[in-house]
Amino acid sequence: MASDAPRQYVPLTCHGHSRPVPHVSFSPLGKDDVYYMISACKDGCPMLRDGQTGDWIGTFLGHKGAVWQAKLSPDAGTAATASADFTAKVWNTYTGELLYNLQHDHIVRAVAYPFDNSGMIATGGFEKKLRLFDLQEKEPVTAPGANGAESTVTPITIPTSQAFEIGEGSHTQPIKFIAWAIDPNVIITASGDTLRWFDLPSRQCIRTEKLDGEIKSCELVSLAPSISSPSDIGGGLPVLAVAAAKTVYFWGGQKADEELKRITLPHGVVSVGLDLKGKKFVVGEDPGTWARVYRWDDATEIDVHKGHHGPIWSIAFSPDNNLYATASEDGTIKMWKNCDGFYGLWRGVGGAVTAERGTD
């Protein structure tokens, strides 16, 4: 288990975006313990990176507006992005090609995949509607290139009329976040100051929870099954971590509907990440530019990470729990080491652990 003692490791800084980065997330742990990181950006160009090093792999080009959120599929073969250009898009992560255009009538703020199904997408945004798109109904056509040229993919456009709406009329404000519980029949949305749980078979809202203020962050935190344990926070199951006003909230269980804890801090929070094994949580302060680290058991502050020059909008822990990423208004992502010994680009120098270099 990682110690909660302050380390002050030098973070890795991921450059490349030209505008604020509102969201960052990791893929599940893959073969040979490989995983990836994807970032959404208001420059309209979401980026895929190596999860351990932050090294740039590719940029998905095609959105005509800010990208608010980006998620990788369970098999890491596709990526879903939510944009102000009234679309959500699905991309091939190996080739960078666009596979699906999911049309909407307003800004799309949130996307989510089920835990074990890369062929479904949930979307939400300023239409105030939660929708499910079945990507398996129609697959993009790949045509061989002429005269030895590379093959081309014709993306599929799916209008909202072909999606399934869940909980019609439930939302009165834009949907900012969507979390798909480990129970595939349950989806949670964050809209305004309210969390809502939906049952997919009945398409009905089955629970609402009003929080202390507007929800600024809402993510389902999980670890790779190979390293999760009953001694982790949540007993080895994913945990829903939510930030609103000055309070962070945590729910566990198969449906992410069992409240584990709520902690009110002396400052506002715009984001929260949870270390399930190390039993601590990290928040982006509001107002401010620092990430503060607190102990889970008694909410004692144990570290402060400085370095960003704008609010920290998103915090995500890697699937192996060995690092976490912070995404900021300043257009950068910083990666912070969360384990003992050497890892990724962190190397030992005279007993201290430092970052080998910033990433491009």
Least confident stretch, 190-199, 213-222, 295-304, 341-350: 341-350
Q: pTM of the prediction?
A: 0.92
- pLDDT, residue 295, reads 97
Residue 251's alpha-carbon distances to 188, 265, 325, 330, in angstroms, are 11, 18, 22, 30
- pLDDT, residue 345, reads 87
Torsion of CA 164, 168, 172, 178, to 10 degrees: -40
- pLDDT, residue 140, reads 84
| Distance of alpha carbon 350 from alpha carbon 8, whole angstroms | 15
Residue 38: closest CA among 328, 283, 316, 360: 316
Map out the domains of the chain with their CATH numbers.
12-355 (2.130.10.10)
Instruction: Supply φ then ψ for residue 162, to 5 degrees.
Output: -95, 5
Whether the per-residue pLDDT at 145 is higher than 80: the answer is no
Cβ burial 177-207 (10 Å sphere, 16+ → b, else e): bbbbbbbeebbbbbbbebbbbbbbeeeebee
First-to-final CA distance of the chain: 31
- pLDDT, residue 1, reads 44
Least confident stretch, 99-108, 143-152, 252-261, 274-283: 143-152
| Distance of alpha carbon 270 from alpha carbon 251, whole angstroms | 18
- pLDDT, residue 351, reads 39
Q: Report the chain's mean pLDDT, rounded to a whole number.
A: 92
Whose structure tokens read 């993919």?
Answer: 153
pLDDT tens per residue across span 272-318: 999 999 999 999 999 999 999 999 999 999 999 999 999 999 999 99
